[in-house]
Structure 1
Amino acid sequence: MHEICDGLIRRGFAVTLQAEHGERSNALGGQLARYARVITSSIGKLLQTDVVYFRSHFAAFPIALAARLLRKKTIQEINGVYGEAFVTHPRFARLRGILSWMQRLQYRWANALIAVTPQLVEWGSAEAGHGRAFHVGNGANTERFRPDGLRTERTLPYVLFFGGMTRWHGIEVMLDAVQSPAWPENVDLLLAGPVVDPSLKARIMNAPPHVAWLDRVPQEELPALIRGAVAALVPTVDPSGITAHGITPLKLFEMMACGRPVIVSDFRGMADLVRQGPAGLVIPSGDVEALARAVSTLVADPALADRLGAAGAELIAAHHSWDARAAETADVIERVVRR
C-alpha cells in the first residue's frame, strides 16, 4: 500500500493512509482495539475525501456504510475470497456468514473493484452484481529488489523461503523435503519470518540438519538474501481451498525481481507467471519429493538457474513494478471520479 500511495502522490493525488501501525497484539481485545482506532480515524476524515480506497476487509464495513451515507465514491481492493480472511483470522470463523455478507455488501456499494488476479475479477463481479471490476496485480519495488547488488554469503549454498511460518505456506513440505534422499547434499534451507502458527514452532525449533530459521529479516536485508540463494521457494499448499481464484503472492515478485529462479506450487496465478518467464520450476502442491528434486536440478545446473533467474528479473522490471501498478490504480480512480 505504501508503494501504491507513493505512486499516486507522484501523479498528483493527495493521499491520506489510514492503517495499523506498530507492534501487533494477537489477543482478541488488542485486535478489536486496532480495528476500532482505524475505523474511528477513517470516518473522521471522510468529509475531506473524494474517493475512499479500501483494502477489502469485513472490519471496514462501518467506514463503507458512512461513505455511502455521505455519498462518497468507493473502490474495494480484493486480494482473496471471503474464506481467506478466516484462514488468517480463525477466531472469526464462527461468524463466517455475517462477516462474508458484510464484505459482499461493500462490493455491491463500491463504484469500482480492483482485484489482484483475473479470476478474482470474475468472482468479485459476480459477488457485487456489477461489472465495474478491474485487474491490478501485485508487483515489486524494482529499485530495491533487483538482480545487481550485495549477495549474502554463507558457508554452504542455500535455498530460501521468507514469510510467515504457516501451514499453507508449505513449511512442513519444505522441512520434509530436506530429509528426502533427493535433496542435494550440503545445501541448506533458510526460513526467514515469524512463527504465525504456534503448532509449527516445535518443528521449526527442532528442525533437521541443513535447516536454519532466521526469524524476522528487515526488508532492506531481503534483496541480498535472495540474490545469494540458489533458488527461492513458494511451495504453497491449500488445505482450505482458497487458491481456486488464483494467487500471486507479493514475495514471488520480489524473489523474481532479484534474478534468482523460483520453485512454486502449480496454482493458477503464480504458476502462470513463472511459466511466462520462464522464471523457475513448477511442482505439484504438497509434493515433498518433487520439491527436493527441483532444488537438486537447480543446484546441479547453475547455468540453468541463472537463465531462469535473469528471465524472471527482466519480466518483473518490464511489466510488474509498483510504479506500473500505481499507474493502473490511478487510471481506475480517474474513471470513478469522471463517472
Structure 2
Amino acid sequence: MRMLAYCDEDLSVAAGGARQVLDLAAALTQRGHEVTIVAPQPIAPIEVPADRLRMQPVPVVRGGAIRPLSFLLGSMKVLGGVIRTWRPDVFLWFDSPGQLAPLRVLRHHECPVVYFVNGLPEEEVQGLWRWAPIRQALSYGLRRAAARAQAVVTVCPEICKSFGTRERARCTVIRNGVDPVRFSPQSHEEARAKLSISGTGPYIGFVGGFFPWHGLETLIHAVPMVAESYPGLQLFLVGEGRTKGALEDLVQRRGLGAHVRFVGRVEFDAVPAWVASFDVCVVLHQRTRSYPGDSMKLWEYLACGRPVVTTAGPGYGDTVEAMGAGLSAKADDAEDLARQLRRLLADRAVRAAMGERGRTAVVQSHTWAARAAQLESVCRRVLSREELAA
C-alpha cells in the first residue's frame, strides 16, 4: 500500500507523538508499504529510518500563533500536490488538534482516512488555548475529522467511548509500542559508568515529559519515606515540561536536594542508558483527565528489562501486573508508592525476574512491528469496505 501520513509534530524532537509517527511509519515500510510523511519543517536534521519512507516537509513560520496558521496554509498546498501526483491508497491522519487542512484537501480528492486520536484537546491544552471558544473550536475540529474518517485509532479504550455511536463503531485501540533493538537490556554498572553516576544508590528513575497527569509530585513526596531505609537513594527525573518549576520548588521546600536530581532533556539515543542505570523505573498516572492515555515510557522501561512501579488501574498497573513485571501503587498515595518501591529495592533477584518477564512480554507482543501489523489490518478493512461500496 501507499500510505500518506500527516502530522503537526516537529519530528526532530524526541517527543511521544513524533516517535509514534516515525516508528510506526518505519515499521510499516518493513512490511512492504511505501510511506510519505507530511509534517512541519524540522528544526534539526532527521535521519530517515527506512528506505521506503519519504519526508515531505512543510515550511513554517515559527513563533506564537503564527506557526500553526502557517502550517495550516502550507500543508494544504503540499497535501494536495502529494495526493494528486502520488495517489496514496490510504491517508493516516495523526493527532493534530486544530489542523483541518486535510478536511479541505480531501473535499477534492478521494482517499480513505484513518484518524489517530491520542488525547482530547479540550482536556489537555494549557494557557491561552484553554479559553473556552478555542477549546470548543479544537473539540469541533476533532469531531469533524473523526466523522470524515473511515476508521479511528486511539491508544486507549476510554477515548473511544468519548465519541458518538457511529465513530465508536469504527474505533480501534492500538497502543504505543517500542523498538526492542534500541531499547534493550544493559548492565547497571556499564550504564552508570557511561553517565558518570556515582554514589551508593539505590537509583530510581523517571524519563519523559513533566505534565500534570504524570503525578511526579507524589513520587517526590515518596522519596523521604524510601530514604529512611536507603540513605543513599537517588531519584533521577530525566526530561522537561510544564510542571518542572513547581517540582523544583517542591524539592527545595522538602529539603530533598541530596536525593532528587533534575537531569533535563537528553538526546533520544541516551534514553536507554538512563533507563538501564535505574534499579526501579516509575511511571504514574494522576487523574487530571477522563482517560489514562498510553505511556510510551512504560514500554521503553519494560523493553530495557527494568521492573516498574506504576499506578493501579487500566493501562498502567493492570499491564505490569498481568506481565509480572512490576508492582502497582494506589493513585496519588505517596505512602503506598514508597511501600512498593521499598519492596522492590529490598530484593535484587525479584527485580531481575520482573525485568526479564517484562522484556519477554514486550518482544512478543508490544513492539512497533506488532503495532504496524495491527494498523495494516485496519487499513485493509477500510480499503475492503471502500471497494464494496464502489
TM-score, structure 2 length as denominator? 0.78
Task: Give yes or no for the alignment of 1:161 onto 2:206.
Answer: yes
The aligned counterpart of 2:277 is 228
| Structure 1, gaps ≥5 residues long | none
Provide the C-alpha distance between the structure 2 equivalents of 1:127 and 1:39, rounded to a whole number of angstroms: 30
- Could you tell which deviates more after superposition, 73-82 or 30-39? 30-39
Greater relative contact order (Cα < 8 A, sep 6+): 1
In the alignment, which of 78, 93, 106 is matched to residue 54 of structure 1?
Answer: 93
Provide the C-alpha distance between the structure 1 equivalents of 2:80 and 2:165, rounded to a whole number of angstroms: 25
Task: Give yes or no for the alignment of 1:216 onto 2:237.
Answer: no
Give secondary structure in 1 for the equivalent of 2:300.
Answer: helix
CA deviation vs aligned residue, 1:89-135 (integer Å, no higher than 9, x gap): 442222222221111111111011112123334444x3644622222
Task: Give yes or no for the alignment of 1:65 onto 2:101.
Answer: no
- Opposite residue 185 of structure 2, the aligned amino acid is P
The aligned counterpart of 2:348 is 302
The aligned counterpart of 1:45 is 82
- Opposite residue 307 of structure 1, the aligned amino acid is A
Native 8 Å contact 1:160 1:229 kept in 2: yes
- Opposite residue 146 of structure 1, the aligned amino acid is S
Native 8 Å contact 2:207 2:275 kept in 1: no
1:330 deviates by 1.3
Root-mean-square deviation (CA), in Å?
Answer: 2.5
Q: CA distance change for structure 1 residues 218 and 180 in 2, over 3 Å: closer, same or farther?
A: same
Q: CA distance change for structure 1 residues 57 and 84 in 2, over 3 Å: closer, same or farther?
A: farther
Provide the C-alpha distance between the structure 1 equivalents of 2:304 and 2:226, rounded to a whole number of angstroms: 29
The aligned counterpart of 1:179 is 224
- Could you tell which deviates more after superposition, 314-323 or 6-15? 6-15
Q: How many residues align?
A: 333
**Hey, which bits of structure 1, 4+ residues long, moved more than 6 A?**
23-26
Native 8 Å contact 1:160 1:226 kept in 2: yes
Alignment of 1:47-126 (within 5 A): 47=84, 48=86, 49-86=88-125, 89-94=126-131, 95-124=134-163, 126=164
CA deviation vs aligned residue, 1:291-333 (integer Å, no higher than 9, x gap): 2222211111111111211111111011001111111111211
Native 8 Å contact 1:68 1:109 kept in 2: no
Q: CA distance change for structure 1 residues 309 and 130 in 2, over 3 Å: closer, same or farther?
A: closer
1:25 deviates by 6.3
TM-score, structure 1 length as denominator? 0.89
| Structure 2, gaps ≥5 residues long | 1-20, 45-60, 386-390
1:196 deviates by 2.8
Native 8 Å contact 2:98 2:137 kept in 1: no
Q: CA distance change for structure 1 residues 64 and 233 in 2, over 3 Å: closer, same or farther?
A: same
Question: How many percent identity over aligned positions?
Answer: 26
The aligned counterpart of 1:152 is 192
Q: CA distance change for structure 1 residues 268 and 185 in 2, over 3 Å: closer, same or farther?
A: same
